[in-house]
């Protein structure tokens, strides 16, 4: 599916319904599947990636019932396998495009005496899995991957021992996979990261009855095994990464005012807000409250005039890794040169996002330069409508639709169906705010 976007003829205005957080939805389903008893989960994101996780845990023996489907997401009842452990599936677990599904479940099944194969689509099958396989092997799991350390992979689990793992990358997926394996390992399992990654796993596991020790100064997180989660009730807040597209749209489309309720403002996810404020954007938070294991608030974003360039340092990147494409777009409208440092992790996302950003912004006529792990964007730029591909990457598809709102003329975003991975209703939400968008 292609999408046509016209230059915004008027300000974007109104309240936008942001879908539930994808990272938290995956974790809630996976932890509930591993728990003793029946968990009740509300507002679970209904997207292609999360559906992959639902199918995967069902194949491993969890009983998943979809009780309701609404605009707020899925209401689920999940009867977990608990102390009996997962079943050995008869066929490979298909993870679709979801790296979270593959990596977290590889960690989860590694502690049980089962053999499980994992596959993915063409994009997921290019993404690195050795970063998961190596620590799990150190714990005692037997893991085979394709040549190059990618999917398909096969995990033969059981008999694990806890380890002190020094992760070479700040990755919530790596951290979560090792901690989940640690639930079945003898003794203590710890993960120490080079920078702070998103912390949904360590926030959510205690809700499922699993104690987690966190040491913020040393960036170490630990669990003690063996441990079996217990069922719970949980509601998933709105996704800050999805909200970021509308916050940037408000910041760059003159006169715009947009409001988004119940957005998670977890400190490990709100880095994009801090960067945009530094650039001069007006983003306000109102009505903080607790929802499940997270703090949420309503975000108010409005156009406040010209933006200014900034430097995004490597230490900030783990807290805004998914928002980098749309922040780079914001940089095209900022006076000066914005530099993003330490962003090499973008090269192993759903696409080579670093190259996708560089090439796509250049198609729109922006002045942009990139190296192995850095990006520079000059602004302000007069963007021109163009034909640009999402490369099958949901975040690139959404970024280019927002770009079309400030580009002169007509923009065609190819392969825009990729948004179904995290935000299936994205084009509908844009239209409700007054944007000129149509599916072709």
Instruction: Please list the active-site residues.
Output: 322
Token code pair at residue 315: 């230490």
CA distance 228 to 230: 7
CA distance 138 to 292: 34
Cα 277 from chain centroid (whole Å): 22
Q: Which helix (H) or strand (E) holds 248?
A: helix 240-252
Q: Which residues of 192-213 are buried (b: 16+ CB within 10 A; e: fewer)?
A: ebebebbbbbbbbbebbbbebe
Sign of torsion over alpha carbons 53, 57, 62, 65: positive
Token code pair at residue 291: 């929802």
CA distance 269 to 225: 29
Tell me the three state secondary structure of residue 325. Answer: helix
Whether 285 and 265 have beta carbons less than 8 Å apart is answered as yes
| Closest residue by Cα to residue 165 from 188, 145, 135, 187 | 135
| Closest residue by Cα to residue 406 from 308, 332, 356, 351 | 332
CA distance 298 to 394: 24
Instruction: State the number of CA atoms in the 13 A half-sphere of 190 facing the CB.
Output: 11
**Tokens 């799991």 appear where?**
141
CA distance 277 to 282: 6
Whether 338 and 310 have beta carbons less than 8 Å apart is answered as yes
Alpha helices for 271-352 (secondary structure H) = 271-278, 324-331
Q: Which helix (H) or strand (E) holds 340?
A: strand 334-341
CA distance 238 to 259: 13
Residue 289 dihedral angles phi and psi, to the nearest 5°: -155, 165
Whether 222 and 190 have beta carbons less than 8 Å apart is answered as yes
Whether 176 and 34 have beta carbons less than 8 Å apart is answered as no
């Amino acid at each position: 599916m292609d999408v046509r976007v016209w230059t915004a003829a008027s300000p974007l205005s109104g309240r936008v319904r942001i879908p539930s957080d994808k990272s938290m939805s995956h974790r809630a389903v996976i932890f509930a599947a591993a728990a003793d008893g029946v968990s009740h989960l509300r507002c679970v994101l209904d997207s292609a990636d999360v559906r992959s996780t639902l199918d995967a845990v069902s194949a491993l023996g969890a009983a998943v019932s979809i009780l309701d489907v609404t605009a707020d997401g899925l209401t689920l009842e999940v009867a977990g396998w608990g102390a009996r452990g997962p079943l050995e599936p008869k066929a490979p677990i298909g993870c679709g495009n979801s790296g979270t599904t593959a990596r977290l479940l590889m960690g989860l099944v590694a502690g049980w005496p089962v053999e499980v194969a994992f596959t993915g689509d063409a994009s997921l099958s290019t993404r690195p899995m050795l970063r998961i396989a190596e620590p799990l092997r150190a714990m005692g799991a037997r893991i085979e991957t394709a040549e190059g350390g990618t999917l398909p992979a096969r995990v033969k689990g059981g008999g694990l021992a806890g380890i002190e793992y020094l992760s070479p990358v700040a990755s919530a997926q790596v951290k979560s996979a090792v901690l989940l394996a640690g639930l079945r390992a003898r003794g203590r399992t710890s993960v120490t990261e080079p920078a702070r990654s998103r912390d949904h796993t360590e926030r959510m596991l205690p809700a499922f009855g699993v104690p987690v020790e966190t040491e913020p100064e040393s960036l170490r997180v630990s669990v003690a095994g063996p441990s079996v989660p217990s069922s719970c009730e949980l509601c998933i807040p709105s996704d800050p990464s999805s909200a970021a597209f509308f916050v940037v749209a408000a910041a760059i489309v003159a006169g715009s005012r947009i409001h988004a309720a119940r957005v998670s403002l977890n400190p490990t996810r709100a880095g994009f807000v801090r960067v945009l404020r530094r650039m001069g954007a007006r983003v306000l938070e109102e009505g903080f409250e607790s929802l499940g294991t997270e703090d949420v608030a309503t975000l108010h974003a409005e156009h406040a005039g010209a933006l200014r360039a900034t430097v995004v340092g490597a230490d900030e990147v783990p807290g805004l890794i998914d928002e980098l494409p749309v922040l780079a777009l914001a940089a095209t409208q900022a006076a000066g040169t914005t530099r993003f440092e330490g962003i090499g992790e973008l090269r192993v996302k759903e696409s080579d996002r670093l190259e996708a950003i560089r090439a796509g912004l250049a198609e729109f006529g922006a002045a942009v330069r990139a190296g192995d792990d850095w990006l520079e964007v000059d602004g302000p730029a007069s963007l021109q409508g163009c034909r640009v591909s999402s490369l099958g990457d949901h975040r690139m598809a959404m970024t280019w639709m927002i770009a079309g709102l400030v580009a002169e003329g007509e923009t065609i975003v190819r392969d825009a169906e990729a948004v179904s991975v995290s935000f299936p209703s994205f084009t509908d939400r844009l239209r409700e705010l007054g944007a000129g968008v149509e599916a072709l």
